[in-house]
Amino acid sequence: MNLHHNKTFAIGGVHPEDQKLSAGVPIAPLPLPKTVTIPILQHIGAPAKIVVQRGDAVKTGQIIATHEGFVSSNIHSSVSGRIGIIEEVMDSSGFKHTAISIRVKGDDWEESIDRSETLVEEIKLTPKEIVARIMEAGVVGMGGAAFPSHVKLSVPEGKHVEYLLINGVECEPYLTADHRLMLEKPKEIIVGIKILMKALGVEKAIIGIEDNKSDAVELFQEVLKNEKGITVEALEVHYPQGGEKQLIQALLNREVPSGGLPADVGAIVHNVGTTFAIYEAVQKNKPLIDRVVTVTGKSVKQPSNFLVRIGTPVIDLLIAAGGVPEDTGKIVSGGPMMGKAIADLDVPIAKGTSGILLIPKEESMRAEVYNCVHCGKCIEACPMGLEPYRLLILSKKGNHERAKEEHILDCIECGSCAFVCPSNRPILDYIRLGKTQVRKLKKV
């Protein structure tokens, strides 16, 4: 028994049921799909510019769309085959974006990619070359937000980064992709951390892992025994600890100022999945063309963790996990707290897709809404210390000026307020609406 209290963040937070059904299931490569559909916008920023045409033959790992501007990301073919239709398809957020479909033929990789399993420890590239390679490989944040990693590594002038924080928290219920990756690729992740430390010129790195994954904590403690500068910290299970700001508060007891960046308090945060992708990009010259995806849900026959090529349709994963259960009412891309419900099964897996969650019918509909009873539970739960009930009222009334004064833009959309609301009020729905309106105010 652990008698001392593990660290966690200070303000708000909730404790949804863990439901890590697939935690014990090793990562298995998913069989190649017949077709992949690769959207050119899988990241935050500008869509990539397509550099292939219908009918072109492509190899696995070949670039098919290049970044447009700095805040954007390269897109590579995740399979070998022939380019099919390039048209708009619906992504997991329900928006239509241009996507490149590729009919799969064989699995013929670019020769420059090292496909062996051997661990490459020596980091030959210079910091500048590392960032360039990560940009080239199209690596984005794999925890969900999909922010281009090379942008995060380009610290603004005048900011001093002291700590690299590695996010192994995986605070969303059900998801186990990061957990499995930490158990199966600890050494690669550590090389990835060293690469990031070199690129950023920092001496200290901390891996934060919630204590429901004590096997991963112990494994990293063991592997890091003789390493200098890298430590692992077990954190109390507490949603949304995987939020960048919450993780910084939990590990460093520092608060990112409102509207500021982690670098303002000397920290940069990267997810373990991203760190692994960075290892592959820098040491193996492998672009981001696949990722670990958890397929899970209370009624799923075989909750699984698959290594999936980007662009694979969701249906392929569901079939591999034992089919779609009869009682499925909702399919979520991501976790239950922040994931997006998808409308059909052809939605492709993107760089930011960490899981596919099947929710039974009886849990898919929102429950009856009551009047606000002023219980204050949303305020207690908000990890940003906001007053969600008030933001709902202000957004509903269209009083966006006041909503801005009440710091609506600080909301990280973790959903804790709506999760705890005993009246089932659509708090986050209105906050999202309000945020959009407040951003419009800014532009005028």
Partner 1 sequence: MSTGLLTVSPSPHVHTELTVPQIMRGVVFAMMPAFAFSIYNFGLGAVYVTFLAIIFCIAIEYGIAKFLLHKPASIYDGSAIITGMLLAFNVPSNLPWYLIFIGSAVSIGIGKMSFGGLGNNPFNPALVGRVFLLLSFPVQMTSWPTAGPTWSLDAVTSATPLGILKDGMRGGEPMEKLMGEMPSYSDFFFGLQGGSLGEMSAFALLLGLIYMLYRKIVTWHIPVSMIATVAIMTGIFWLIDPSKYANPLFHVLTGGVMLGAVFMATDYVTSPFTHRGMLIFGFGIGVLTVLIRLFGSYPEGVSFAILIMNAFVPMINRFVKQPRYGEVKSMQ
CB-nearer residue toward partner 1: 39 or 336: 336
CB-nearer residue toward partner 1: 26 or 385: 385
CB-nearer residue toward partner 1: 134 or 314: 314
Strand bridging mode 267-271 / 230-235 = unpaired
Q: How far apart are CA 70 and CA 175, in angstroms?
A: 31
Closest CA relative to residue 152, chosen from 137, 164, 144, 136: 164
Sign of CA pseudo-dihedral 236, 423, 175, 130: negative
Closest CA relative to residue 357, chosen from 293, 308, 420, 306: 293
CB-nearer residue toward partner 1: 366 or 439: 366
Tokens describing residue 206: 């901390």
Q: How far is the CB of 389 from partner 1 (least distance, A)?
A: 7
Q: Tokens 């550590």 appear where?
A: 190
Q: Which of residues 377-396 bind partner 1 (CB under 8 A)?
A: 379-380, 383-387, 389
Which residues are paired to 348 by β-bridges? Answer: 313
Which of 367, 442, 443, 444 is in the footprint of partner 1 by CB under 8 A?
A: 367
- Beta strand spans in 43-109 (E): 49-50, 57-58, 63-66, 75-76, 81-90, 96-104
Which of 269, 357, 392, 394 is in the footprint of partner 1 by CB under 8 A?
A: 357
CB-nearer residue toward partner 1: 183 or 347: 347
Q: Which of residues 242-261 bind partner 1 (CB under 8 A)?
A: 245, 249, 255-260
Strand bridging mode 328-333 / 355-360 = antiparallel
CB-nearer residue toward partner 1: 39 or 240: 240
The C-alpha R_g of the chain, in whole angstroms, comes to 21
Q: Which of residues 407-436 bind partner 1 (CB under 8 A)?
A: 407, 410, 413, 415, 418-424, 428-429, 432
CB-nearer residue toward partner 1: 139 or 338: 338
Q: Which of residues 3-22 bind partner 1 (CB under 8 A)?
A: 11, 14, 16-17
- From residue 46 to residue 85, the character string flagging contacts with partner 1 as x (rule: CB under 8 A) and all else as - is ----------------------------------------
Q: Are 356 and 331 in contact (CB under 8 A)?
A: yes
Which of 301, 366, 396, 397 is in the footprint of partner 1 by CB under 8 A?
A: 366
CB-nearer residue toward partner 1: 198 or 402: 402
CB-nearer residue toward partner 1: 217 or 357: 357
- From residue 81 to residue 100, the character string flagging contacts with partner 1 as x (rule: CB under 8 A) and all else as - is -------------x------
Q: How far is the CB of 113 from partner 1 (least distance, A)?
A: 36
How many residues bind partner 1 (CB under 8 A)? The answer is 72
**Secondary structure element (H or E) that encloses residue 123, with its range:** none
- From residue 166 to residue 205, the character string flagging contacts with partner 1 as x (rule: CB under 8 A) and all else as - is -------x--------------------------------
Neighbours of 127 (CB within 10 A): 15
- From residue 317 to residue 346, the character string flagging contacts with partner 1 as x (rule: CB under 8 A) and all else as - is ------xxxxxxxxxx-x-xxxxxxxxx--
DSSP state of 444: -
Q: Are 279 and 192 in contact (CB under 8 A)?
A: yes
Q: How far apart are CA 240 and CA 247, in angstroms?
A: 9
Q: Tokens 């969650």 appear where?
A: 357
Query: What is the DSSP code string of 368-409?
Result: PP-------HHHHH-TT---HHHHHHHHHHT-HHHHHHTTGG
Q: How far is the CB of 39 from partner 1 (least distance, A)?
A: 19
Q: How far is the CB of 342 from partner 1 (least distance, A)?
A: 7
CB-nearer residue toward partner 1: 128 or 374: 374
Q: How far is the CB of 13 from partner 1 (least distance, A)?
A: 11
